[in-house]
Amino acid sequence: MTEATRFTIFGSTGDLTYRKLLPALYQLEARGLLASGLTITCVGRKPLTAVTYVATARPWIEKGSRFRVDPEIFARFEARFRYVEMEITQVEDYDLLVDESEGDHLYYFAVAPAYFEPIARNLKEAGVLNQGTHRVILEKPFGEDETHARHLNTVLTDIFGESNLYRIDHYLGKEMIQNILAIRFANRLFEGIWNRNFIKEIQITAAETIGVENRGPYYEKAGAIQDMVQNHLLQLLSYVLMDPPTSRSEEAIQRQQSDIIRSLSVTEMVLGQYSANGELKGYREESKVDPQSVTETFVALKLGSSHEKFIGVPIYLRTGKRLDQKATTITVLFKTPSSPLFDNLKSHQEMLIIKIQPDEGIYFRFNAKKPGTDQTINPVMMNFCQSCIYENRINTPEAYERLLGDALRHDKTLFTGWDMVELTWQFASALSAFKTKHGVMLQLYPANTDGPQAAQDLLHHTGSTWIRSDITEEAYAL
């Protein structure tokens, strides 16, 4: 297997490239993981040169890289760059990308999915794919809806072949998501109780404090369901529920994930949109957003799974922008044991929280006896802070760094196969159908709050509440 020799970015002047891809590539450079012959070709329609492009990119790299930028390493990195000014929809311009070498070419489509097909067709038609090997990393969302995703998949598979398609969901590159499998399958303690006999409910929250920022046109089309649920949250949920895979291969893991996605059904839905609050603008006042927009910036769902281990276990997902906390967490709440020995067991819920970001760690709350002669139960906790322990010791790679490094080495394990993409689109279509059938109305919530009241009510009527990530900071006095 040859090492990649040319890495080409379509959409090189976009937010994703500046904020994520270039810092990730620089980090790989700093770790000595970029092959000496690798060149980085940035395709854009702005009139730039390699020198002016890198000068524009440098502050982003300095800001986004987890390493301080070292002049010597940066000089080596800068020397790899080539900038090609072209219009990605014009096939004639692709002559500029023809490379007669037998090398391995890796393309990154960091553009809206509507451009995936024209770029792929133009690469083929212009003869760029005639020499060497050609692989593509495809940003999410893969397609604009279920039908478009299917069409796109046929076109891209015809041109490149499934084995050369790397569909990225950067959540899978996050250390704590990989850790879910270790927590579950490397501990008898948890795997033995990972079923409906012990689990009362599961909650997954992906809360952001930021608004839509400068991504209005994209977000107007996608909304929270396509931006977060259809990919990241379903990936997370399938890692939480899946049966043990038979191997570490991409196929074995995704087979189990797919079984979970197939087993899901939605029973309740709340959609919200943030409104102005003090200094903070409402979604409809954001730049390039329709002042009458009905796009959801918040979604809360109650789901069920027909997987035999989880029948009857309510699964709650919620995600939103402009909420009052930034946290992605998975919370597993356990059923209360019945014991005649203690009076107040019911009021203290045992729970396991897996903290994905920004804090990384595992919080486990369980019951112990309050010291003294009475039989009062007090919750106690174990709080493992992964980021505190490892950060300064082994420099955990960030998600894009990990995934780009994997793609350069031809490792597809953490990239999403077509089956999963298709199933998650089907799930998104089922959500749309549910919304229409039940006439789910958009609820406004003030920016910097916990989301619409209806999302709280979703749980209240089962006697539960959303567990906030800051619960892990609470101390329980003995």
Ligand X SMILES: NC(=O)c1ccc[n+]([C@@H]2O[C@H](COP(=O)([O-])OP(=O)(O)OC[C@H]3O[C@@H](n4cnc5c(N)ncnc54)[C@H](OP(=O)(O)O)[C@@H]3O)[C@@H](O)[C@H]2O)c1
CB of 148 to ligand X, least distance (A): 13
Determine the 3-state secondary structure of 105 from DSSP: strand
What letters, b where the CB count within 10 A reaches 16 and e where it falls short, cover 22-40?
Answer: bbbbbbbbbeebbeeebbb
CB of 450 to ligand X, least distance (A): 24
At closest approach, how far in Å is the CB of 444 from ligand X?
Answer: 25
Which residues are designated catalytic? Answer: 232
- Other CB atoms within 10 A of residue 452 CB: 22
Phi, psi of 17 (to 5 degrees): -65, -50
Residue placing its CB nearer to ligand X in the complex, 151 or 346? 151
Q: From CA 425, how far away is CA 265, in angstroms rounded?
A: 14
124: nearest Cα among 151, 160, 149: 160
Radius of gyration of the chain (CA): 24
Least gap, CB of 109 to ligand X (angstroms): 8
* Structural element, H or E, at residue 163: none
Q: Is the CA virtual torsion 111, 112, 113, 115 positive or negative? A: negative
Q: In angstroms, what CA-CA distances link 474 with 208, 467, 468?
A: 21, 12, 11
Residue placing its CB nearer to ligand X in the complex, 44 or 451 = 44
Distance CA 365, CA 286 (A): 41
Nearer of residues 5 and 328 to ligand X, judged by Cβ? 328
* Cβ-based nearer residue to ligand X, 113 or 282: 113
DSSP for 186-197 reads S-HHHHTT-STT
The two three-digit tokens of residue 457, written as one number: 């009510």
Would you say 13 or 275 has its CB closer to ligand X?
A: 13
Query: Six-digit token pair at 105?
Result: 């070419």
Tell me how far, at minimum, the Cβ of 21 lies from ligand X, in Å. 9
Nearer to ligand X, 44 or 64 (CB): 44
Q: What is the 3-state secondary structure (H, E, C) of 241-268?
A: HCCCCCCCCHHHHHHHHHHHHHHEEEEE
Nearer to ligand X, 118 or 304 (CB): 118
CA distance 470 to 453: 19
To the nearest whole angstrom, how small is the minimum distance from the Cβ of residue 394 to ligand X? 26
Residues that bind ligand X (CB under 6 A): 11-16, 44-46, 87-89, 110-113, 139-141, 215, 218
Nearest residue to ligand X, by Cβ distance, number only: 14
Residue 77, Cα to own-chain centre: how many angstroms? 28
Bridge partner residues of 275 (DSSP): 446
| 339 neighbors 345 (Cβ within 8 angstroms) | yes
What's the min distance (Å) between Cβ of 118 and ligand X?
9
Residue 187 tokens read as 């501990």
